[in-house]
Every structure is written in structure tokens, then in C-alpha cells.
């Protein structure tokens, strides 16, 4: 399968008021009034906007994003009924994503939602196989767009949706969107009493919804359609989809106050995501001021890691797109472009990426020298980003936390002398190299490496260049590095190696280097044996190993009890050299899980970064 999603072949009516997908010979919305159809078929069909009232959170899933018109209709209705601080979480799936220009042309015919359309088009999702979450905080709306086949995506999701818009192309033209397996996944992902609505009354659709546990009724249709369907979930399906219970701890906390340990980029990302949800967030930093750890570097690159496949390929591509969007929204992103040259032995892999790119050409393209250009990649100054991220939180510096004590449903954070510093409903441990000092996280196999960077006067390249080491334009000169040492090196020796690496990477730039102007900074990075980050609720290691000891012997597991966990204690760590790229996504994932929101990543990708994976592997190796 190509790495890029297919573009739809579109046919416009002469007046531009109707849009048809040629491959399915079907329209995106009714000629009789697309917005009115959205209200009659989908909003009214799921009891909206009445069901929005008095709800702190509401989760909606749509099959068939198309032009985004149904989303805009729901968003507009939500604004008129929401409580202060209430949030609407919309997930939507599209196999053939429209370009922004085509969506804008279609939506221009609906002035009633022009305000919402303008905001959506400003951050229109990129055509890529990576989930993209867009936040509209003033309205309490999050929109997550998944690209791909609906059944495949639903099979990998977790969550509980209150309402479903079933708006794929007609069953006769697009049968893959209306299978019994898909309806079973819809039921699995539904909250009790969830409602579903669709424009079709096809017999296979009625029977499929009923088999999945829905009570289905025909209602008067819209426009030329005589009838439509409304459905309500009554109970579990007769033949539920097979999905093994997770042995990793995933439990919502719905906290009112969260303590974040560490004010680096990981802690700040978590704090921003929590504050966005209206949660009181207190960030405790052991140092006297911001920037004591790796996040104190003057700048760092944000660029993607692009893998052919595997559980982590989704994570890294999603993290890159999320980071660029997050830093641009904060006004702290300096787009410079990054030229990625193949490292020794990696020429074939890079050529494969260029021949079958995972991103559109305005994001990723080939250069004449065989390198790849990430034209939307760039530079971030961590301290500037952290300060913006912490604006909605309370920051307390010079507050080292020694241990965490359980206290009822919450946690007490204690100083080294035993004093109680704070009580919180949940805790996020995001203090980099120091996180293993806390007993709940002590089992994590984190190792530390030292990295040094340099910056000073030189003729800067037109864009950043990387091949193991990197060089980028910075403050009228350059920034380059970085070393990777298991033990801290002498600064002068590390500088010599960085200069040698610069000579090998960009000799023309190195020839202009004013070594007398150079400044250096070394910091520790926390990494894991599999080089993947860690994010999630911490398991109770001893109890977890005991409960799932049968894994070591290949026996069937007893899954009637939840995975043992330090309920309410989460971790973000092991980000290595990709902290700036990974942190915004990991902060969003942690906050969403605390609040019991629908998933952003697939369960496969989510499990690949969960802290319990190390316990799981330890048992499997026995």
C-alpha cells in the first residue's frame, strides 16, 4: 500500500454547489441543502443539540469526514448549548482526504457556519496516514481526524462515544463502510445508550446495526430521500468483536488537580494539555529556574522519523505533525527546513522513502544530491516554548519532590525532610533523568547519555543539515552537534568531536567557523533500551508481575481483574534526542487518558510506548 492516502477524484456541478466523488458516483452532501441535511439527518437523528445540554463532556464519532460539513454543524450547535468549560470531542474518519482548497470551495456555500469553517480551514489536516488532533479551545472543541479504512481504524481505537454520524457513501457504492464487523466495532466503542444516525435505510445496514445491539427506527428522510435511520444502543452485540482485554493499565481519573514533576519540555507539554481541559495544574521544578536540564539548550530541531511500518511508525509521524502544529500555534516555531542525508548503510532506506513518500511534496521532497528535504521542519527554542506552555499552570521552582505517598484517592508529594508540599488527584512524573528516584517508576530501564552542542559565528547554511550530527542557522551564526556519550566528556574534547563532525557534514560551513566565538552546553538525555519513549499510567511492578506470571509459561491469562497500577501516577520519559518532537503529543495523550477521552493513537502504537511493556517483555523472556 502506498504511504500517502489517495486523493479523491472530484466532479463539481456547473454552479459549484454540488460536489461528487467520481470513484463512488455519489455526492458529498445533498443538493437540497447540505447543512439542513446535516441538522435533520445527523444532529436530530442523534438527539442533538438537546443531548449536549448539562454535559461536561460529549464524544461524537463520524464515519466520512468529507468536506467537514457535519462537524461544523455539530460544532455550531455545541457553541449554543455548552456549559462553561464543557468539552466536545469529535473523532472522524476519512479514506480519501480532500485538499484544503476543495473543502474551502465547498464550504463557501454555507455562510451559517462560516466562522467555524474559517477556523477549521486555517488548520486543515494534512493528507497523511497519521491521526491529527485539532483543538479549538475557545469553544471547548477537539477534532481528531483519522485517515484510512474505517473498520481498520475503529478496530485499533479505544473510547466510549455518545453519538455516531454514519455518513459514508451509499452502501451500494461503498460496501466496505457498512459491514457487520464495522457495526460490531461501533457497538464496542459506544457509551451506554449511544445513538447513531444515517441517511440510508438499506436492509444490510438495518440488520447490521440490530445485530450489533442497536434498536433501529425509520424516520422521515430529507430532500429526495423518503426515509432515514435512527438507532440507539440497547446492549452488547450478539457476537461481539474479538478484542483481548489489555494487561496494561489504562484508567481514567477525571482529576481536578494534577501535579507535574519537572518543568522541562515534557512536563510543560503535559501541563499545557491539562490546563487546556480546565484542570488545575501545579508544576514543581527542583531547580531554581527553568532550563536546568536538557530543555535548557538554546534551540533544537523538530523533524520527523519516518519508518516504513511497525507500531512506532504511527507514533513518530503523528508526533511530528502534532509538534509542528503545536509550536506554530504558540508562535515559537522557526521554520528553516531540514536536509536529511543518508547515514552510512541507510542509503536504500532513504531512497525508499523518497520513492514512496509518507508526506505530501510540500512537506517532503527529494534534493538533487539524493538527500531528502523536510521543508516544514524547523527550530524551536525550548525555554520560549516552555514559558508559553506553562501560562495556564502554576509553576513552583526550587521544590524538589523526594517521594509520593498514597492518601485516599490522591497523592501527597513530600520533600526530602518529609514535609507535605502538595496534595493532588494525579501526578505526572516528567523530570527526565531523575524520574527513577520515585518508587513507582524505579523499575523502568532508563539509561542516561550526555550530549553537547555548540553555537557561534559562521556562515549559516540555507537550511539545516543532518546526517547523525546536524547544523542549523541560529542567531546570525550556527548551532551544531551533538555528541552522544555514555559518560560525561571533557567539554573541550566533546567540542573537538563536534567540530570534526561539522567538517564531515558541511565543510563549506566549517571553513567559516569562528572557533573563538563558540559556546557549548552539555546535558543528560534519558533513553530506553528500545529507543522508544515512555508515556502512561505506571503499573505496580511487583503486583503486575505476580498477576501475569503465567506469561512466562505460555498459559492463558486470567483477565477478570484490572491490571495492577499506581492509580493516578503517570510518567513521560525516555525521550532521548527527540524530546522537542515527541513531548507535545505525549502530553496530549496523558491528559486525554486521565480524562477518559477517546484515543488519539491506535492501541498498538499506544502499547508500544506504555511503561508496562518492559514488565511484559521481562516475563516473556523467562
Residues 229 and 125 in one domain: yes
Q: Is residue 242 part of a domain?
A: no
Distance CA 245, CA 265 (A): 33
- Give 323's DSSP letter: H
Q: pLDDT (tens digit, 9 = 90+) per residue, 106-159?
A: 999 999 999 999 999 999 999 999 999 999 999 999 999 999 999 999 999 999
Judged against a pLDDT cut of 80, whether residue 241 lies above it is answered with: no
Tell me: do 68 and 162 sit in the same domain. yes
Q: Tens of pLDDT along 271-281?
A: 999 999 999 99
281 lies in a domain?
yes
* Residue 349 Rama label (left phi>0; alpha psi -120 to 50; beta): alpha
> Which one has a higher pLDDT value, 21 or 43?
43
Query: What's the chain's average pLDDT?
Result: 94
pLDDT at 582 over 90: yes
What's the confidence (pLDDT) of residue 148?
Answer: 96
How many domains, the chain?
3
470 Cβ contact list (under 8 Å, min separation 6) = 301, 338, 464, 480, 481, 482, 505
Residue 556 pLDDT: 84
Portion of the chain with pLDDT greater than 70, in percent: 98
CA atoms of 187 and 231, how far apart (whole Å): 11
Q: Are residues 340 and 488 in the same domain?
A: yes
- Whole-structure pTM value: 0.96
Domain of residue 453: give its range. Answer: 334-380+448-525
Q: HSE on the CB side for 237, CA within 13 Å?
A: 21
Query: Which percentage of the chain shows pLDDT scores above 90?
Result: 85
Q: Identify the bridge partners of residue 195 per DSSP, sorted by sequence position.
A: 163, 232
Q: According to the model, what pLDDT value does residue 142 have?
A: 98
Which CATH number fits the domain that encloses residue 277? 3.50.50.60
Tell which residue, 345, 340, 338, 313, has the closest CA to residue 128: 313
Q: How many CB atoms lie within 10 A of CB 136?
A: 16
Phi-psi bin for 440: left (phi > 0), alpha (psi -120 to 50), beta?
alpha
Q: Residues 576-604: what's their mean pLDDT?
A: 96
Whether residues 148 and 64 share a domain: the answer is yes
pLDDT at 223: 84
Render pLDDT for 33-78 as a digit per residue (tens, 0 to 9). 899 999 999 999 999 999 999 999 999 999 999 999 999 999 999 9
Run of H or E including 398 = none
Among 153-167, 386-400, 550-564, the minimum mean pLDDT is found in 550-564
Strands (E), 85-140: 87-94, 132-136
Least confident range of 195-209, 224-238, 437-451, 516-530? 224-238
Residues 133, 89, single domain; the answer is yes
pLDDT at 27: 85
- Residue 254 banded pLDDT, cuts 50, 70, 90: very high
Residue 531 has pLDDT above 80, yes or no: yes
Instruction: Specify if 322 maps to a domain.
Output: no
248, 610 contact by CB (below 8 A): yes
Per DSSP, the three-state class of 102 is helix
pLDDT of residue 132: 98
More confident residue, 239 or 508: 508
> Which residue is listed with cell 515559537?
332
Q: Where among 496, 525, 554 does a domain terminate?
A: 525
What pLDDT digit, counting tens, does each position of 591-602 carry? 999 999 999 999
**pLDDT value of position 239:** 61
CB atoms within 10 A of CB 323: 26
Cα(59)–Cα(42) distance, rounded to whole angstroms? 14
| 585, 442: one domain | yes
Q: Which has the minimum average pLDDT: 238-242, 293-297, 304-308, 443-447?
A: 238-242
In a domain, 276, yes or no: yes
Query: Do 505 and 550 lie in a common domain?
Result: no
CB 372 within 8 A of CB 354: yes
Query: Are the C-beta atoms of 5 and 93 separated by less than 8 Å?
Result: no
Q: Where are the alpha helices (DSSP H) in 438-512?
A: 491-505, 507-510
The pLDDT-based confidence of 242 (bands split at 50, 70, 90) is low
- pLDDT (0 to 100) of residue 14: 75
Same domain, 574 and 462: no
The reported pLDDT for the residue numbered 245 is 72
Q: How confident is the model at residue 363 (pLDDT cuts 50, 70, 90)?
A: very high
Query: 441 and 452 share a domain?
Result: no
Query: What's residue 17's pLDDT?
Result: 67
272 & 411 share domain:
yes
Residue 312 lies in a domain: no
Of 501, 525, 549, the one marking the end of a domain is: 525
Task: Write the CATH number for 482.
Answer: 3.30.9.10
Return the residue matching grid coordinates 513521560.
572
Query: Could you tell me if residue 324 is inside a domain?
Result: no
Tens-digit pLDDT profile for residues 213-237: 999 999 999 988 899 999 999 977 6
d(CA 342, CA 37): 52
Average pLDDT over residues 367-394: 97
Tell me the H-state helices in 189-310.
Answer: 203-211, 265-276
Asked if 442 and 453 sit in the same domain, the reply is no
* Final residue of a structural domain among 503, 525, 547: 525
Rounded to an integer, the average pLDDT of 509-529 is 95
pLDDT one-digit tens code per residue, 257-302: 999 999 999 999 999 999 999 999 999 999 999 988 888 999 999 9
First to last CA, the chain: 37
| 550 confidence band (pLDDT: 50, 70, 90) | very high
- Tell me, yes or no, whether 515 lies in a domain: yes
In this predicted structure, what is the pLDDT of residue 560? Answer: 85
pLDDT for res 405: 97
Residue 169 lies in a domain: yes
Report pLDDT for 31: 67
Q: For residue 16, name the pLDDT band (cuts at 50, 70, 90).
A: low
Asked if 489 and 608 sit in the same domain, the reply is no
- Residue 199, domain CATH: 3.40.50.150
More confident residue, 292 or 534: 534
Amino acid at each position: 500500500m502506498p504511504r500517502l492516502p489517495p486523493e479523491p477524484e472530484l466532479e463539481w456541478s456547473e454552479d459549484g454547489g454540488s460536489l461528487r466523488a467520481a470513484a463512488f458516483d455519489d455526492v458529498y452532501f445533498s443538493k437540497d441543502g447540505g447543512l439542513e441535511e446535516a441538522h435533520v439527518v445527523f444532529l436530530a437523528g442523534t438527539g442533538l443539540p438537546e443531548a449536549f445540554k448539562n454535559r461536561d463532556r460529549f464524544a461524537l464519532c463520524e464515519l466520512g469526514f468529507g468536506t467537514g460539513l457535519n462537524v461544523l454543524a455539530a460544532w455550531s450547535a455545541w457553541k449554543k448549548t455548552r456549559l462553561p468549560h464543557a468539552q466536545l470531542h469529535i473523532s472522524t474518519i476519512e479514506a480519501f482526504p480532500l485538499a484544503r482548497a476543495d473543502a474551502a470551495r465547498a464550504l463557501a456555500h454555507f455562510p451559517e457556519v462560516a466562522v467555524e469553517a474559517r477556523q477549521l480551514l486555517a488548520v486543515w489536516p494534512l493528507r497523511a496516514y497519521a491521526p491529527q488532533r485539532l483543538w479549538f479551545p475557545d469553544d471547548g472543541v477537539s477534532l481528531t481526524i483519522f485517515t484510512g479504512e474505517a473498520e481498520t481504524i475503529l478496530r485499533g481505537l479505544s473510547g466510549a462515544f455518545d453519538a455516531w454520524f454514519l455518513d459514508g457513501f451509499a452502501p451500494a457504492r461503498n460496501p466496505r463502510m457498512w459491514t457487520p464487523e464495522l457495526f460490531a466495532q461501533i457497538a464496542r466503542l459506544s457509551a451506554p445508550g449511544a445513538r447513531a444516525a444515517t441517511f440510508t435505510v438499506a436492509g444490510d445496514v438495518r440488520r447490521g446495526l440490530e445485530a450489533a445491539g442497536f434498536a433501529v427506527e425509520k424516520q422521515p428522510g430529507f430532500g429526495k430521500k423518503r426515509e432515514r435511520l435512527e438507532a440507539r444502543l440497547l446492549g452488547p452485540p450478539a457476537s461481539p468483536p474479538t478484542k483481548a482485554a489489555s494487561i496494561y493499565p489504562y484508567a481514567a481519573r477525571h482529576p481536578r488537580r494534577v501535579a507535574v514533576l519537572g518543568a522541562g519540555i515534557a512536563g510543560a507539554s503535559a501541563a499545557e494539555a491539562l490546563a487546556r481541559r480546565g484542570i488545575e495544574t501545579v508544576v514543581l521544578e527542583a531547580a531554581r529556574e527553568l532550563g536546568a536540564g536538557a530543555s535548557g539548550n538554546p534551540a533544537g530541531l523538530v523533524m520527523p522519523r519516518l519508518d516504513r511500518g511497525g507500531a512506532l511508525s504511527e507514533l513518530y509521524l503523528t508526533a511530528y505533525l502534532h509538534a509542528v502544529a503545536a509550536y506554530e500555534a504558540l508562535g515559537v516555531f522557526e521554520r528553516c527546513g531540514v536536509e536529511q542525508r543518508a547515514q552510512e548503510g541507510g542509503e536504500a532506506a532513504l531512497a525508499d522513502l523518497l520513492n514512496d513518500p509518507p508526506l505530501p511534496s510540500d512537506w517532503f521532497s527529494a534534493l538533487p544530491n539524493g538527500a531528502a528535504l523536510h521543508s516544514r521542519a524547523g527550530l524551536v527554542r525550548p525555554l520560549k516554548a516552555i514559558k508559553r506552555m506553562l501560562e495556564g499552570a502554576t509553576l513552583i521552582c526550587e521544590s524538589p519532590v523526594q517521594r509520593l505517598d498514597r492518601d485516599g484517592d490522591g497523592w501527597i508529594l513530600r520533600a526530602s525532610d518529609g514535609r507535605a508540599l502538595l496534595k493532588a488527584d494525579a501526578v505526572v512524573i516528567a523530570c527526565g533523568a531523575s524520574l527513577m528516584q520515585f518508587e513507582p517508576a524505579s523499575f523502568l530501564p532508563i539509561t542516561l547519555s550526555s550530549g553537547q552542542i555548540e553555537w557561534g559565528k559562521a556562515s549559516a547554511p540555507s537550511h539545516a543539515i543532518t546526517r547523525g550530527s546536524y547544523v542549523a542557522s541560529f542567531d546570525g551564526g550556527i548551532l551544531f552537534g551533538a555528541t552522544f556519550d555514555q559518560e560525561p566528556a571533557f567539554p573541550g574534547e566533546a567540542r573537538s568531536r563536534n567540530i570534526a563532525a561539522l567538517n564531515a557534514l558541511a565543510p563549506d560551513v566549517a571553513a567559516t567557523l569562528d572557533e573563538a566565538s563558540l559556546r557549548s552546553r552539555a546535558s543528560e538525555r534519558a533513553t530506553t533500551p528500545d529507543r522508544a519513549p515512555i508515556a502512561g499510567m505506571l503499573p505496580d511492578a511487583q503486583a503486575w508481575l505476580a498477576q501475569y506470571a503465567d506469561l512466562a509459561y505460555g498459559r492463558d491469562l486470567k483477565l477478570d481483574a484490572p491490571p495492577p497500577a499506581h492509580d493516578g501516577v503517570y510518567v513521560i520519559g525516555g525521550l532521548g534526542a527527540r524530546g522537542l518532537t515527541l513531548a507535545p503529543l505525549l502530553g496530549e495523550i496523558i491528559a486525554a487518558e486521565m480524562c477518559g477521552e477517546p484515543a488519539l493513537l491506535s492501541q498498538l502504537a499506544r502499547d508500544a510506548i506504555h511503561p508496562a511493556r518492559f514488565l511484559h517483555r521481562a516475563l516473556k523472556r523467562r
